[in-house]
Every structure is written in structure tokens, then in C-alpha cells.
Amino acid sequence: MKEYKVVVLGSGGVGKSALTVQFVTGTFIEKYDPTIEDFYRKEIEVDSSPSVLEILDTAGTEQFASMRDLYIKNGQGFILVYSLVNQQSFQDIRPMRDQIVRVKRFEKVPLILVGNKVDLESEREVAGTDGRALAQEWGCPFIETSAKSKTMVDELFAEIVRQMNYSTLPEKQEQCCTACVVQYIICLDHHKNIDEPWDNLTLTLLTKTYHSRLVFFHAAASDASQCVEAVTPPGLQVATLCFSSRTVERKQPSGPRLQDGGER
């Protein structure tokens, strides 16, 4: 069973302990008791895969800020929590993320931005759009939760497991090429003709959770960022894959062509 080390960070009073205890025990802590350091362990199943989460609930007060480097060094995934009813706690999140990047020496650390206390909507000080914008800047998921009502609490910890899994996927050693990408699309949509000129190919995917669209651009590396920027609607997250291209010899497929509704 795979084990994951998760560190929960945020200012004092934002609900770090409440979220963690709600997830681990299913109970809500009514009274605020400042944490120095608490350690929790829970077995969960994410996407049909059993896992063990080791969760470190850290101190939010500034007097223990010097201990964060050690927490971050040992952590694999990070949950950054602010309170939706406290604007200052939202401002405090950015330097914590900067500290993670500094200690880990890597920008793409498994991380989730969390706005807690969504049950206090009438007292909200931080707009949801502000949280989403910051998460988009960092390239990480954003979730609004309530430790009191257990809103999105289980989903939060399941998602951090997924983020840690994504970060450990092996990278391909060989570079792919434009022809490979085009051929991949042709295999999925045999109505497309590989000999026809194209600027981009679009593939719509319907997964268990998300309805997504993949767009493959035929552009020089120097134009890739402008190309993506020009067609991306505001508010959407984009991942750009850059690869080199080379000429490949086209070969006739050895097996029978896959037809709609047919079999090989």
C-alpha cells in the first residue's frame, strides 16, 4: 500500500486542524486550540487504489514559522488553507507557497489551494474568483470547503493523492514528433485525412469527472505560446507540451481498418 506525506499549511485560525480532524475522524472541532504540530494517519481508496495518508497539521502562528522548512522538506504534497472570511489569511498564503518552491527547488510541487469556511458565506471577504485566479497562476487545483459541514473535505484529500500521483508519473525518454501526434488523432477519428493541411486538430474527451477538449497545434516552438494564448478562453487552465519534430516514413497499416461499429 502506497504511503503519502501531506503537509497542511495556513495562517492560524483558518481551519487546518478542523479540516484534518473532520477527514480523519468525521467530527468537527468547535473550539479553536492553536496547533504546534499534530500528526494523523488514515487509509483511503482513491480511484480504486488503496493508499495511506500521513497528514502533518502544522502551526499557523508566526512564532513557529521557522519550523516550516523542515515540514516542507519532508512533505510530498501540500494543502494551503485560507479562510474565506479573513482577507489577511488569503494574503498570507503566497509567501507560504514561495517557501515551498524555495525549499523544494521546483515550481510544480503537488499542491492544492483551499478556501475554507464556505458555510459562512454571508461573512465572506475573499471572492471565489480571487482564489481561482491565484490557483490558475500557480497551476494547481482550487477547492472551497467547510470543515463544519464536511463540504468537499473528502474530495480535497482524494485530490491531493491524485496530484502526488501525477507528479511521480515517469517521463518519456524519447522525443515524439508532429507526425506521431497527427497519427494519434487519425486513429481516434479515421474521418480525418493525414495528407490534408491542418493548423490544429481538436479531440473532445469525456472522462468520469470532466468534459475536456484537447487541441493539438501545428506551430513552430517560437509561436507556440502566442498560438495557445490566442485561442484560450479566459478562466481556463492550459498545459503546453513542447516537442521536437522529425520526418518519418509513412507505412500502410498491416491490419484491417477499424470501422464505426465494427470489429477488427
- pLDDT, tens digit only, all 264 positions of the chain: 899 999 999 998 999 999 999 999 999 988 776 666 789 999 999 999 999 999 998 875 555 566 788 889 999 999 999 999 999 999 999 999 999 999 998 878 999 999 999 999 999 999 999 999 999 999 999 999 999 999 999 999 999 999 999 876 554 444 444 444 444 444 444 444 444 444 444 444 444 444 444 555 544 444 444 444 444 444 445 555 555 555 555 444 444 443 444 444
Q: Residue 72 is which amino acid?
A: I
**Cβ neighbours of residue 256 under 8 Å, at least 6 residues apart?**
264
Would you list the domain boundaries of the chain? 2-167, 171-264
Q: What angle is formed at CA 21 by the lines to CA 18 and CA 25, rounded to 5 degrees?
A: 140
Q: What pLDDT score was predicted for residue 157?
A: 97
Q: What pLDDT score was predicted for residue 67?
A: 78
User: What topology is assigned to 2-167 in CATH?
Assistant: Rossmann fold (3.40.50)
Q: What pLDDT score was predicted for residue 31?
A: 75
Contact 97, 81 (CB under 8 A): no
**Cβ neighbours of residue 240 under 8 Å, at least 6 residues apart?**
224, 225, 228
pTM summary value: 0.63
